Structure 1
Amino acid sequence: MNLFYHRLKGLRDLSFILSPKSIMSTFTNLEIGPIATIKDGKVRGEICQDARGGKFYSFTGIPYAKPPIGPLRFKAPVPVDPWPDTLDATKAGNTAVQENFLTKLIDGSEDCLNLNVYTPCLPSTNTNKNVLKPVMVFIHGGSFLSGSNRKDLQGPELLISEDIVLVAINYRLGLFGFLALDDPSLDVPGNAAFKDMVLALKWVQNNIKNFLGDPNNVTIFGNSAGAASVHFLVLSPMAKGLFQKALCQSGSALSSWAYGYKMVDQLTEALNLDKVSDKDLFNYLTNAPAEEIFRAQNYIDKKTIKCNRHRFIGAVVEPSGYTGQKFFSEHPVKLLLSGRYNKVPMIMGYNSGDGMIVDGMVEPEKNYIYWTDKEFNVPGLLNLEKGSQLSKQLGDEIIRFYFGNGDISRETHLKEFYDITTDNSFLRGIFMSVRQHCRTSNHPIFMYRLSLESDICFYKQLLDIQLPGVCHVDELGYLFRTILTQIPEPNSIEDLTQRRVCRMWTNFAKYGNPTPVKDPLLGAIWEPVTKSNHIPFLDIWEDLKVEYNPEIERMMFWDKIYSNGVMVSKL
Structure 2
Amino acid sequence: MAEPVVEVREGKLLGVTKNDRNGNKFYGFQGIPYAKPPVGELRFKAPQPPEPWEGIRDAKEEGSECFARHFDEFSGSEDCLVLNVYTKEILSPRLRPVMFWIHGGGFTGGSSSTNMYGPEFLLTKDVVLVSINYRVGALGFLNLPDPELGVPGNAGLKDMVMALKWVQNNIKQFSGDPNNVTVFGESAGGSAAQYLVLSPMAKGLFHKIIAQSGSVTNCWATSNKNAAYLLAANAGIYSNNDKVVLKHLQQLSLEDLQEALSKIPDMHAIGILKAFGPTIEKNSKEEAFISEHPLDIIKSGNYMKVPMIMGCVSREGMYIHALVNNNPKSTALMPTTLIPNNFQMRIGSNLHKDVSNKIKKFYFGDKDPSTDKDWINKLYTDNYFLYDVYKNAKCHLETNTHPIYFYRFLFDTDLNFLKHMYGITEPGVSHADDTPYLFKCDLVPEAEEGSVEDLGIRRMVTLWTNFAKYGKPTIDKNDSLLPVEWLPISKNKFRTYDIGTEMKLHDQHPETKYMEFWDEISQINPFLSKL
Given the two structures, how large is their TM-score scaled by the length of structure 2? 0.95
Instruction: Give the whole-Å Cα distance in 1 for the aligned partners of 2:374 and 2:158.
Output: 39
Q: Could you list the runs of 5+ residues in structure 2 that have no partner in the other structure?
A: none
The 3-state SS of whatever aligns with 2:496 is strand
Q: Does 1:38 align with 2:8?
A: yes
Q: Does 1:53 align with 2:23?
A: yes
Q: What number of residue pairs does the alignment pair up?
A: 528
Question: What pairs up with 1:232-271 in 2 under 5 angstroms?
Answer: 232-260=195-223, 261-271=225-235
CA deviations over 1:79-132 (Å, ceiling 9, x no partner)? 11111211111011111113465xx65321100000000011111xx4xx1x21
Query: In the alignment, what sits opposite 2:264?
Result: 300
Question: What pairs up with 1:163-202 in 2 under 5 angstroms?
Answer: 163-202=126-165
The 3-state SS of whatever aligns with 2:15 is strand
Query: In the alignment, what sits opposite 1:542?
Result: 501
The 3-state SS of whatever aligns with 1:33 is coil
CA deviations over 1:140-175 (Å, ceiling 9, x no partner)? 001222211122221111101110000001101111
Q: Does 1:393 align with 2:354?
A: yes
Offset at residue 442 of structure 1 (A): 1.2
Q: Does 1:311 align with 2:279?
A: no
Instruction: Give the whole-Å Cα distance in 2 for the aligned partners of 1:105 and 1:353.
Output: 27
Q: Does 1:353 align with 2:315?
A: yes
Deviates more, 1:47-56 or 1:423-432: 47-56
Whether the 8 Å contact between 2:321 and 2:377 is mirrored in structure 1 is no
The 3-state SS of whatever aligns with 2:3 is strand
Distance 1:364 1:265, change over 3 A: same
Offset at residue 223 of structure 1 (A): 0.5
Q: Give the counterpart letter for 1:340 in structure 2.
A: N
Instruction: Give the whole-Å Cα distance in 2 for the aligned partners of 1:469 and 1:72.
Output: 44
Offset at residue 294 of structure 1 (A): 2.4
Distance 1:296 1:107, change over 3 A: same
Instruction: Give the whole-Å Cα distance in 1 for the aligned partners of 2:34 and 2:385.
Output: 31
Instruction: Give the whole-Å Cα distance in 2 for the aligned partners of 1:155 and 1:183.
Output: 42
Query: In the alignment, what sits opposite 1:290?
Result: 254
Match of 2:403 among 444, 447, 450: 444
Query: In the alignment, what sits opposite 1:212?
Result: 175
Offset at residue 76 of structure 1 (A): 0.3
Instruction: Give the whole-Å Cα distance in 2 for the aligned partners of 1:158 and 1:475.
Output: 13
Whether the 8 Å contact between 1:258 and 1:310 is mirrored in structure 2 is no
Question: What pairs up with 1:74-473 in 2 under 5 angstroms?
Answer: 74-99=44-69, 106-123=74-91, 126=92, 129=93, 131-260=94-223, 261-302=225-266, 304-306=267-269, 308-320=271-283, 322-364=284-326, 369-373=331-335, 376-405=337-366, 407-409=368-370, 412-473=371-432
The 3-state SS of whatever aligns with 1:256 is coil
Distance 1:97 1:435, change over 3 A: same
Distance 1:524 1:456, change over 3 A: same
Query: In the alignment, what sits opposite 2:511?
Result: 551
The 3-state SS of whatever aligns with 1:258 is coil
CA deviations over 1:351-407 (Å, ceiling 9, x no partner)? 11111112443335758645342x642222223344444433322322221233454
The 3-state SS of whatever aligns with 2:286 is coil
Q: Give the counterpart letter for 1:391 in structure 2.
A: H
Offset at residue 178 of structure 1 (A): 0.6
CA deviations over 1:46-76 (Å, ceiling 9, x no partner)? 1111111211111000000000001111110
Deviates more, 1:275-284 or 1:242-251: 275-284
Instruction: Give the whole-Å Cα distance in 1 for the aligned partners of 2:14 and 2:97.
Output: 22
Q: Give the counterpart letter for 1:553 in structure 2.
A: K
Whether the 8 Å contact between 2:108 and 2:277 is mirrored in structure 1 is no
The 3-state SS of whatever aligns with 2:295 is helix
Deviates more, 1:146-155 or 1:469-478: 146-155
Paired-residue identity, %: 43
Instruction: Give the whole-Å Cα distance in 2 for the aligned partners of 1:562 and 1:335.
Output: 19
Whether the 8 Å contact between 2:325 and 2:331 is mirrored in structure 1 is no
Q: Give the counterpart letter for 2:16 in structure 1.
A: E
Offset at residue 551 of structure 1 (A): 1.1
The 3-state SS of whatever aligns with 2:84 is strand
Match of 1:64 among 31, 34, 43: 34
Distance 1:178 1:85, change over 3 A: same
Q: Could you list the runs of 5+ residues in structure 1 that have no partner in the other structure?
A: 1-30
Given the two structures, how large is their TM-score scaled by the length of structure 1? 0.89
Instruction: Give the whole-Å Cα distance in 1 for the aligned partners of 2:411 and 2:438.
Output: 14
Distance 1:60 1:517, change over 3 A: same
The 3-state SS of whatever aligns with 2:262 is helix
Q: Give the counterpart letter for 2:353 in structure 1.
A: K
Instruction: Give the whole-Å Cα distance in 2 for the aligned partners of 1:420 and 1:316.
Output: 26
The 3-state SS of whatever aligns with 1:168 is strand
Distance 1:405 1:365, change over 3 A: farther
Q: Give the counterpart letter for 1:384 in structure 2.
A: M
